Amino acid sequence: MTQKKRISFGSKLGVVAAAAGSAVGLGNIWRFPYELGLSGGGAFLLIYILCVVLLGMPVMLSEFVIGRLGQANPAGAFRKLGSHRKWQLVGIMGVCSSFLIMGFYVVVSGWTMEYIFQAVSNGFVNKDTAALSQAFTDFSSNTARPIGWMTLFLLLTAGIIIAGVEKGIEKSTKIMMPLLLLIIVALGLRAVTLPGGTDGLKFLFYPDFSKINSTVILNAMGQAFFSLSLGMGCMITYGSYIKKENNLGKTVVQVTSLDTVIAVLAAIAIFPAVFAFGINPGQGPTLVFITLPNIFDQMTGGYIWSILFFVLLCIAALTSTISLLEVIVACLTEEFKLSRIKAVIFSSVGIFILGICASLSMGVWSDVTVFGLTFFELFDSVTAKILMPLGGILMTVFAGWALKKEAVEAELSSAGNYKVTYFKIYLFLIKYITPVAIFIVLLNELGLGKPLF
């Protein structure tokens, strides 16, 4: 079969920067620390790392294989490679997930911009936790302001995607990712030198095994899934842009390690400070937006640290939203033959409408509910709790059972160029272990898992 040469990332570093950029996002810096805080610290960290290795790595490798073999967007890749046309539904489901994730993700991303603005204009100074909490509620429930920030953020994302894969995604992530690493290491170093900070490190690294229960295990699995951008076709799309000579296995190890290191660094930056200032680590989703400004206000040099932190959060969100938008745009350009600009405009308008619904549901539409959930909660729950785990199961089942073993091995070894000593273990995992494990997460998140334990 002859194939038209597909656009691709120009360099190996570009591949890692783009894929790690997708993985590293609000999930690492906002969600990971609060999940860890809620689930008992070190024990959660341990289980999380196990989940990344046993669950995340095989799914990511499968997505890369499907994308690079199929040389297409998720819907196209499944249609080309699958024996039944129905397989393309998995890809279409991924595109729908992208829309819905973007619907609430751009809202939170917009908040990070407001918080950069607040940090720069000294908005956190002399406010206690109660005042900061009130300020957060006032802002997020406001009608125009969060939508304004969200629009700006969406335009930024759209601009990068219009610029294209190599000049837009690769170039921007190659600059933003090292910057992000630098900022988070600096914040981590600052945090561990705080007096009283050692308790935070103990909380983070000392696994209290009595805290491990089925819920902690399942939460950690869910977090690994979300954080690594799995189950919705992001890594299939990026996989299709990876050159044939690049080593997929190595890329997966690099991307998952970077994602995990950054999540841990974020926790190192946050927990010593939380303990030093006597704040409850199990605070939940408000940890970043309410507690951290409070902490920064009480720190020497807090002005600079707070700006750095929210810039970091914004950059991390941006490298994730561009990957989410690219999934939709790749599908629209290839499946519906739209021009890249038209595809970006069309999808951005759709996301904008979803984003308005999600943003207003924090305020004037807070009593508009579907299945008892506000729009924000609905988009979040439907994707993270149903579509992504389901996608992950179907993708590993597809790679393990529907694709030819030889084709998968040839893809992983780049036609014999690399040794794939891990192949048997990988195959065993995607055939028997990973889909079953994700299935258990799915049941649990739907609230049906309890009878299993």
Q: Applying CB under 6 A, which residues contact ligand PHE?
A: 22-23, 25-28, 101, 226-227, 229, 232, 234, 320, 323-324
> At 288, which amino acid appears?
V
Q: How far is the CB of 225 from ligand PHE (least distance, A)?
A: 9
Smaller CB separation from ligand PHE, 234 or 248: 234
What are the b/e assignments for 1-19, b being 16+ CB within 10 Å?
A: eeeeeeebbbebebbbbbb
Nearer to ligand PHE, 24 or 43 (CB): 24
Spatial contact of 59 and 396, defined as CB atoms under 8 Å apart: yes
For the bound state, the minimum distance from the C-beta of residue 330 to ligand PHE, rounded and expressed in Å, comes to 13
User: Which residues have CB under 8 Å from 110's CB, separation 6+?
Assistant: 146, 147, 148, 149, 150, 151, 152, 153, 359
CA distances to 326, 412, 425, 434 from 62, in Å? 19, 10, 13, 11
Listed in sequence order, the residues at least 6 apart from 89 whose beta carbon sits closer than 8 Å to its beta carbon are 78
| Residue type at position 112 | T
Tell me whether residue 229 or residue 396 sits nearer to ligand PHE (CB atom).
229
Minimum distance of ligand PHE from residue 323's CB (angstroms)? 5
**CB within 8 Å of 140: residues ≥ 6 apart:** 111, 146, 362, 363
Output the CA torsion 424→24→155→243 (10° steps).
Answer: -30
Nearer of residues 28 and 251 to ligand PHE, judged by Cβ: 28
Judged by beta carbon, residue 23 or residue 204, the one nearer ligand PHE is: 23
Q: Which residue, 246 or 323, has its beta carbon nearer to ligand PHE?
A: 323
Nearer to ligand PHE, 25 or 239 (CB): 25
Nearest-approach distance from CB 267 to ligand PHE, in angstroms = 14
Token readout for 439 is 């299935």
Q: How far is the CB of 355 from ligand PHE (least distance, A)?
A: 15
Instruction: Compute the least distance from the CB of residue 288 to ligand PHE, in Å.
Output: 12
Cα–chain center distance at 186: 22
Query: Smallest gap, in angstroms, from Cβ of residue 317 to ligand PHE?
Result: 7
> For the chain, how many helices (H) and strands (E)?
22, 0
